[in-house]
Amino acid sequence: MAAVTELSFLLFALINNIHAQERIFVKKEGDSYTFNLPNNTDSCLISRSVGEEKLVLWNTSDLWSNSSSVPEHLKQRLVSSVKTSSYTILDLTHSDSGPYREECWTEGNVTHDNNFTITVCTSIGGTAIDERLGGTVDLPCEGAADNLDVQWLKQDSRYEQETWSRVFGDKTTSVMDNVRGRYQVVTNTSALRVSNVTGTDFTDYRCLVMHQQQCVSSHPVGLELQVEVIYHSVGETAVLPCTITDSTDEQPPRWSNLFSSDLGQLNQTVPSVDQNYSLVFSSLMLNHSGLYYCFTSMRYQRYQLFVCPKFGPPAVELFSEGEEVTLRCTDRREDMWHVWFIKSNRTEGRIITVESDQSMSRVSWYDNNGSLVISNISAGDAGEYWCVVYDPYDQCVSTERTVLVYMEPFGIYSTSFKKLEKV
């Protein structure tokens, strides 16, 4: 009978190891970690692997006895709660890092078996990066520097406690089926390159800088869905698509704005949600300007809606390769503030702010006089540029639009410039 029980345990452990993805808990030095074990078990064993050696930390049935296996340095940092069957290690150090295993028995049968890794690091302040669906983005590993021994982790949202999964089994092979081929580590920077970004990529990541299997520092990076800018004038119709429907959600996508989840509180014309879950404004008013969210239980989509007074016809300027072009925001005043937007072939027809477009390193924006200067201009800079002026209450006061058209030598307009339609 004992042999059968042991064989059952081995098969159980083998199946568990095959199907379970490695779970990683990243902790800062001095933090604590709590083992939440099931109630109504005869005993539980906590062990940690050190190389090929299995170090038994404690058995809950003789935790505080004189013959207890708990190391003295650990016993001083161990706190238990009989009511909840939880055990907490206080003041974590690098030496607490490693693979752990929980095993519990009831009447001789294994009723709980859990494998995971605790990694203790020195945490460094994180950063957040915006990207759009379908784009490509490099998540920086700021602490890598000359040390290219890094591990990339991705937050696993299936668990309530902050849990991480390893993105790569090594530096090149992804262990996540849904991202295989889309995630790569950039050789000279150790950045994580995410290609063809999908909704499931928008979460938190961590770059662990390692030295001889010990975590030197942890650098959190949040990948967030880029705010899509929607630009209209008073009286027009606007449609904000919601493309994050997920068949696993029990409820359909919901809409909210920055200040309220009740869109009916908006004054005057109230937007509606159509059969495709898009938010529809039939006749825009100035007060409809704002940040709108379409969200499900795990994903969200953001739109920044700008509603301005009626647009006037855009000005047109011709330019040649290598010139310097200055655009001026003449409506800007002392008590106002302004933002420059771009819509062009280079931005794939999307409206983005000048400061968020990293490809425009040759652009200078002068807030004191409202001018925008593009140096060493090229055909790719052709497009529509908007200066939007806001009052102190963030309401759009006016819009000036200028269409830059590239002129090839001999006065022929560039055939690569596509006429931009009215927004």
What pLDDT is stored for residue 262 in this prediction? 46
The mean predicted confidence, pLDDT, of the chain is 78
- H/E element, 4: helix 2-19
Q: Which of the two residues, 349 and 78, has the higher pLDDT score?
A: 78
**What global pTM score does this model have?**
0.65
How do beta strands 214-225 and 204-211 pair?
antiparallel
**Mean pLDDT confidence for 158-169:** 76
Structure tokens at 365: 């924006």
**Mean pLDDT confidence for 3-31:** 56
Give the whole-angstrom CA distance, residue 404 versus residue 414. 11
Q: Which of the two residues, 144 and 411, has the higher pLDDT score?
A: 144
Tally Cβ neighbours within 10 Å of residue 93.
12
Judged against a pLDDT cut of 80, whether residue 179 lies above it is answered with no
Give the whole-angstrom CA distance, residue 145 versus residue 149. 10
Chain segment 320-330, per-residue pLDDT in tens: 888 888 988 88
Judged against a pLDDT cut of 60, whether residue 20 lies above it is answered with no
What pLDDT is stored for residue 113 in this prediction? 92
Name the band, by pLDDT with cuts 50, 70 and 90, for residue 86: confident
Structure tokens at 297: 């239980």
Judged against a pLDDT cut of 50, whether residue 203 lies above it is answered with yes
What pLDDT is stored for residue 247 in this prediction? 53
CA dist 232 → 289, 303, 421 (Å): 9, 13, 13
Judged against a pLDDT cut of 80, whether residue 157 lies above it is answered with no
Judged against a pLDDT cut of 70, whether residue 194 lies above it is answered with yes
Tally Cβ neighbours within 10 Å of residue 240.
21
Chain segment 115-152, per-residue pLDDT in tens: 999 999 887 778 888 887 788 899 998 877 665 688 89
Which of these ranges, 65-74, 103-112, 119-128, 379-388, has the smallest mean pLDDT?
Answer: 65-74
> Quick check: helix, strand or coil at residue 402?
strand
Angle at 169 between CA 166 and CA 173, to 5 degrees: 115
Selection from 113, 117, 122, 123 nearest residue 50 by Cα: 117
Name the band, by pLDDT with cuts 50, 70 and 90, for residue 193: very high
What pLDDT is stored for residue 258 in this prediction? 53
Judged against a pLDDT cut of 50, whether residue 77 lies above it is answered with yes
Contact 296, 244 (CB under 8 A): yes
Sheet containing strand 192-194, edge to edge, reads 137-139, 192-194, 183-185
Judged against a pLDDT cut of 60, whether residue 254 lies above it is answered with yes
What pLDDT is stored for residue 261 in this prediction? 44
What pLDDT is stored for residue 355 in this prediction? 65
Greatest alpha-carbon pair distance for the chain in Å reads: 95
What DSSP state is assigned to residue 363? E
Structure tokens at 188: 């000279």
**β-sheet bridge partners, residue 305:** 230, 290
Tally Cβ neighbours within 10 Å of residue 281.
21
> Quick check: helix, strand or coil at residue 184?
strand
Judged against a pLDDT cut of 70, whether residue 15 lies above it is answered with no
Domains defined along the chain, listed by start: 2-121 (2.60.40.10), 127-225 (2.60.40.10), 228-308 (2.60.40.10), 315-411 (2.60.40.10)
> Quick check: helix, strand or coil at residue 353?
strand
Amino acid 69 reads S
Which of these ranges, 49-58, 122-131, 255-264, has the smallest mean pLDDT?
Answer: 255-264
Name the band, by pLDDT with cuts 50, 70 and 90, for residue 2: very low
